Chain A
Amino acid sequence: MPIDFLKQKLQRKESGTQYRTIFQVLHLDLYLLFGILALVIFGFFILYSASNQNLSMLLQGVLHIGLAAIIMFAFAQIPPYFYERWSTWVFWSGSFLLLVVLAIGKIGGGARRWLNLGGLHLQPSEIMKIAIPMMLACYLSHKELPPRLKNVLMCLLIIMAPALLTIKEPDLGTGILLILAGFGVLFLAGIQWRYIIGALLGLGALTPILWHFMHKYQKQRILIFLNPERDPLNTGYHIIQSKIAIGSGGFLGKGWLHGTQSHLSFLPAHATDFIFAVCGEEFGFVGGLFLLLIYLYITGCCFRVAYQAQDTYARLLAGGLSLMFFMSVFVNMGMVVGILPVVGVPLPLISYGGSSMITLMATFGILMSIQCHRKLIGN
């Protein structure tokens, strides 16, 4: 098989490499690191403008990324077999915390997405972003692939139970990401097309149930997405405003710090979920394209890790995490440009906020670990 040949050749070439650079010793992947750095620097320019030139907010952002980078570095040092061994444990404790948050939210009477651990906000749904791909990879790597129906059903349970809990929190955006990445892992594991088609049909049938699980405001957002004019002043107003911001940006944009729409007008959450609109307004199409290319480059680096991984667990985990990353980008940008409903998903590494940034950098840490521990495992 040509692919086997390719793979063998690749492996031989890799194992033939004797020199170890400082980055290999530190288990850092240079390609990925470069992409992250480019993104973060561009992100600071956007955030500075989006926060109305609030320097303290920018410094806060630097602090977040610094902390997240330390976590990434730490995660990169942990060898993949360690992740594999602890996958089940991580999954169960994450699910347990999710239930705790939901219970506290019920008692507190309102939305609760995080646990307060002495000033540290722990968001269990963020843990699940890593835990679900881990659990699936762990589960499937011990099974015959492509997976049999009963194993597929088991996987569905692993994905849907925490995802529905997350949606119930309510955090529709993260819930959808969990489902997308989970299905991505299943797809990479080689699930047969007939199951995929069956699932799509099943999803069609499941939609009313999902609809039932949604909160009123979540339903509202989807209805408004389907027709923004339905509510031009409230939720629909956000989409209209963000489209005006991006549309008025044109090819080259209005220039850094010169966006009017995002500063003057009520562009909602312009430093967090809608920050891409600021980019679109101030840097125009060129800025948007540049940003998308950086994201694609990073996504490529991530899938490279999955492609070069040497065992099923590492492959599936890396693939799932890579897909999670790209889907976060797509769901956020899609929502801001108005091709997806408004679900609260931040723009990876650029939106202001520490919680998702830490998960994301932990994800990169795991990917780097898989990439850089390669020669120590397998044949």
Chain B
Amino acid sequence: MSPLLTIKNSSQEAGLFVRRIIAIAIFIVILSLLLLGRLVVLQFFQHDYYTTLSDQNEIDLVPLAPNRGLIFDRQGILLSNNTPVYSLIVTPSRTENLDASVQALARRISLSQTDLDQFYQQLKTHRRFEQIPLKMRLSEEDVARFMVDQYRYPGFSINTNLMRQYPFGSTFSHVLGYVGRINQDEVAHVNPANYAGTNFMGKLGTEKFYEPRLHGQVGYQRAEIDAGGRIVRDLSTIKPVKGADLYLTINAGLQTAAEKALEGNRGAIVAINPKNGEVLALVSEPGYDPNLFVSGISQKDFNILINDKSHPLYNRAIHGLYAPGSIIKPFIAIAGLDSGKTTPTAQINDQGVYQIPGTTHIFHDWTWWIGQHGHGLTNVTKAIIESVDTYFYDLAHRMGIDLIDQYLTAFGFGQKTGIDLDEELAGNIPSPASKLRYQKAPWYPGDTAQTGIGQSFFQVTPLQLATATTILANRGLHYWPHLIYAERLPNGHFVYELPRQLPSVVLKNSTDWDVVIHAMAQVVTKGTGTSFGQTPYSVAAKTGTVQLIGKGANGANRATSANLRNNSTFIAFAPIENPQIALAVVVENNAPNAAAVARKVLDYYLLDEHHLPPAAETPHAH
């Protein structure tokens, strides 16, 4: 191509291009005028028409809150119910004289100052066309009074809601938690569309953990609404989808029995089915009445709960951190046997005192405190049965803290069990690192010895103790402890939760399990747990007592108070041949004895509840 031609072409192209741009500009102007013309038509000529549509007869989209799923125990006993309540709501934009109407209404129905304060508070933060509750939980009388002359109060109407109700009151408070009014922070964490009609959400416990399953799917009613806020015509409805019903692994009877056994004291009981990790009972005493929280707890009631010295709001079963005391000994024994630091027959001669080689500090066995002088020749079995401290001081010292922690970690101590509750704490097992972190102090050999008897800087939850006991009962198998048993979907189908296995504790020599379990079986027959008494079923158990004095008592006058009496701990599983239940009991300040509490719980489950396994199913005891 000659250069001349190129130049000619390019200028021709450019000229063509400019003509085409002008054409497009004209095109764009035409389209813009089209849009503008349309706006003129809509906003000038049809303005009145659309204003009427907008003001007079609004098509409103009323969100229909789904019914919250119910919660049952494993046998279908209703634990968390929905009951209808009436509330008086106001749409400010539709009222004629808001203040006068409210005053007139206050003469007809009972409105407390709190109701009014809350209403005027919300009035400031809501838009004029949003609904604001004036009074929750209207009595039927008030409903009737209002309905008679509703016509006098445009913009006021009665809403029927379902409210959560807990028929058993405090018994299941620490399992279920409660629902409460959604607050600003929580709004940010949910899908606003799905919660458009919802006033309540789970705040604690199962209600919180399973909120997404319990809540359901919002529905909408599209309705024509007149200026007074009344529905003139229902145009279409998308039905809400009810939340799933939950069935918990809890045995309501057992839970009630366990709560009764602890009644009036502070403590916790966790009972688990070792075969699948199902939590049968989870009690923390004292409990509280979750019904108080549903409609918004009054300041007075809340102060009572918060100032109660026994902290009823505190879930000791998963949130309470305790030193385990002697009930750690079977686990230390397993660790000692498996690591080869002791054997089933190795003995020490216990004189009631123990001195770490090369140091001067003397550790005393508990017998020393009651005026005796040791247990004499002691092997691991006797050490568990009679809870011989010196044996475990020595064993722990020889194992060293790192080896001990390795086994304690395998049994799940010092970490969350992963139960389906948000409030669980991990606790802590003694280690040089954690001591440095929390106490800013170096690790001494004496700390290792103290770890051997479950004192030192130990913090475990009753749930961890119960879970570790299931591992003992299962000879190593570890199941995820959980509260969800099944879910009934809105279509009626049941979805069952399958047991989930976690990494097992595998011993080099599985007969070590037998040694420890055999010793635990004798704890209640001739050892420290004889207060447990004779039972028709076989029980493997371990008692514990945790000294509190010297563990940071900061009030001088409290030295004599009940608060500083020792904690009593107890773990057990039964029957030994075919474990049905494993449990951990912690009773603060040793009243009553944890063993006696455990006895009542086990008796209920294995005797009253005719849960003794049929003979054919029982494996042969060795």
Within 8 Å of chain A (Cβ to Cβ): is B504? no
Which applies to chain B's interface (DSSP): helix, strand, loop or mixed? helix
With A260-B54, A260-B129 as known contacts, state yes or no: A303 contacts B24, CB within 8 Å: yes
Say yes or no: is B302 at the interface (Cβ < 8 Å to chain A).
no
Known A249-B43, A280-B43, A288-B39: A339·B34 in contact at CB below 8 Å:
yes
Shortest distance from the beta carbon of B565 to any chain A beta carbon, whole Å? 52
**Are A264 and B60 within 8 A (Cβ)?**
yes
Q: Which of B11, B40, B127, B236 contacts A263 (CB 8 A)?
A: B127
Is B58 part of the binding interface, using a Cβ–Cβ cutoff of 8 Å?
Answer: yes
For A315, the closest partner residue in chain B by CB is B17
Quick one: closest A residue to B130, CB to CB?
Answer: A264
Task: Collect the chain B residues with CB atoms within 8 Å of residue A244's CB.
Answer: 50, 53-54
A145 at the interface (CB under 8 A from B): yes
| A307-326 interface bits toward B, Cβ cutoff 8 Å, 1 = contact, 0 = none | 10000100100010001001
Q: Is the CB of B129 within 8 A of A264?
A: yes
**Cβ of A103 under 8 Å from chain B:** no
Residues of B within 8 A of A243 (CB): 42, 50
Cα of A303 to Cα of B53 in the assembled complex, Å = 41
Question: B225-249: which have CB < 8 Å to A?
Answer: 235-236
Interface string of B8-25 (1 = CB under 8 A from A): 011111111111110111
- Chain A residue nearest to B51 (CB atoms) is A248
Query: Does B556 make an interface contact (CB < 8 A)?
Result: no
Say if the beta carbon of B59 comes within 8 Å of chain A. Answer: yes
> Which of A1-9, A72-80, A369-377 lines the interface with chain B?
A1-9
**Given known A265-B60, A266-B61, contact A233–B236 (CB-CB < 8 A):** yes
Contact with A along B28-46 (1 / 0, CB 8 A): 1001101110111011101
B108 in contact (CB, < 8 A)? no
| A247 contacts partner chain B, Cβ-Cβ < 8 Å | yes
Contact with B along A72-97 (1 / 0, CB 8 A): 00000000000000000000000000
Min CB distance B564 to A, Å, is: 50
Partner of A285, one of B20, B32, B44, B188: B44
Query: Which chain B residues border A289 with CB–CB below 8 Å?
Result: 36, 39
Chain A 255-286, CB-CB to B under 8 Å as 1, else 0, gives 00000110111100000000000001000110
Question: Which of B23, B50, B61 has the largest number of chain A CB atoms within 10 A?
Answer: B50
B517 to A: closest C-beta gap in Å: 50
Q: Which residues of B contact A303 (CB under 8 A)?
A: 21, 24-25
What A residues does B61 contact at CB under 8 A? 265-266
Contacts of B28 in A (CB 8 A): 296, 299, 326
**Segment at the interface with B among A32-40, A171-179, A330-338:** A330-338
Contact call B36/A3, Cβ cutoff below 8 A: no
Flag if A190 contacts B60 (CB, 8 Å). Answer: no
B537 within 8 Å of A (CB atoms): no
Residues of chain A in range 202-223 having any CB-CB distance to chain B below 8 Å: none
Shortest beta-carbon distance from A343 to chain B in Å = 16
Q: With contacts A233-B235, A260-B129, A334-B35 known, is A250 near B18, CB below 8 A?
A: no
Among A146, A244, A284, A289, chain B packs the most CB atoms within 10 A around the CB of: A244
Identify B36's interface contact among A248, A292, A326, CB under 8 A: A292
Known: A243-B50, A326-B28. A263 touches B36 (CB 8 A): no
B428-461 to A contact mask, C-beta < 8 Å, 1/0: 0000000000000000000000000000000000
Instruction: Let me know if A246 is at the binding interface, CB within 8 A.
Output: yes
Q: Is residue B222 within 8 Å, beta carbon to beta carbon, of the partner chain?
A: yes
Point out the residues of chain B lying under 8 angstroms from A264, CB to CB. Answer: 58, 60, 129
Chain B residues with Cβ below 8 Å from A233 are: 222, 235-236
In the bound complex, do residue B14 and residue A7 qualify as a contact, i.e. CB atoms below 8 Å apart? Answer: yes
Specify which chain A residues have a CB less than 8 angstroms from the CB of B24 in the assembled complex: 184, 187-188, 303, 319, 323
Chain B residues in 8 Å Cβ range of A145: 9, 12-13, 16
Question: How many residues in A have their beta carbons less than 8 Å from beta carbons of B?
Answer: 53
Which residues on B sit within 8 Å (CB–CB) of A306?
Answer: 17, 21
Partner of A251, one of B16, B32, B43: B43
A265 B59 Cβ-Cβ under 8 A: yes
Q: Which of A146, A248, A319 has the most CB of B within 10 A?
A: A248
Cα–Cα distance between A144 and B5 once the two chains are bound (Å) = 11
A338 to B42, CA, bound (A): 10
Cβ-neighbour of A248 out of B13, B50, B93 (below 8 A): B50
- The interface bits of chain A over 87-111 (1 if a CB of B lies within 8 angstroms of the residue's CB, else 0) are 0000000000000000000000000
A56 at the interface (CB under 8 A from B): yes
* CB contact under 8 A between A4 and B20, given known A247-B42, A285-B44, A338-B38: no
Given A264-B60, A296-B28, A334-B35: A56 and B21 interface contact (C-beta under 8 Å): no
Q: Is B49 an interface residue (CB 8 A)?
A: yes
Closest to B25 in A: A303
Smallest beta-carbon distance B137→chain A, Å: 27
Find the B residue at minimum CB distance from A326: B28
Determine whether the beta carbon of B42 is less than 8 Å from that of A188.
no
Q: Are B32 and A292 in contact, CB atoms less than 8 angstroms apart?
A: yes
Residues of chain A within 8 A of B32, CB atoms compared: 292, 296, 330
What residue in chain B is nearest A293 (Cβ atoms)?
Answer: B32
A255 to chain B, nearest CB (A): 13
In angstroms, how far is the closest chain A Cβ from the Cβ of B235? 6
Residue of A nearest to B13 (CB): A145
Cβ proximity bits A223-258 to B, threshold 8 Å, 1 near / 0 not? 000000000010001000101111111110000000
Contact A312 B10 (CB under 8 A): yes
**Interface set of A (CB-CB < 8 Å, partner B):** 1, 3-4, 7, 56, 144-146, 184, 187-190, 233, 237, 241, 243-251, 260-261, 263-266, 280, 284-285, 288-289, 292, 296, 299, 303, 306-307, 312, 315, 319, 323, 326, 330, 333-334, 337-339
Known pairs A145-B16, A249-B43; list 6 more (Cβ under 8 Å): A260-B54, A260-B58, A265-B58, A265-B61, A319-B24, A337-B39
Interface residues in chain B, defined as those with a beta carbon under 8 Å from any beta carbon in chain A: 9-21, 23-25, 28, 31-32, 34-36, 38-40, 42-44, 46-47, 49-51, 53-55, 58-61, 93, 127, 129, 188, 220, 222, 235-236
Enumerate 22 A-B pairs (CB-CB under 8 Å) in ascending A order: A3-B14, A4-B11, A7-B11, A145-B9, A145-B12, A146-B16, A187-B23, A190-B13, A233-B235, A244-B54, A247-B47, A247-B51, A247-B53, A249-B43, A260-B58, A260-B93, A306-B21, A319-B17, A319-B21, A334-B35, A337-B38, A339-B35
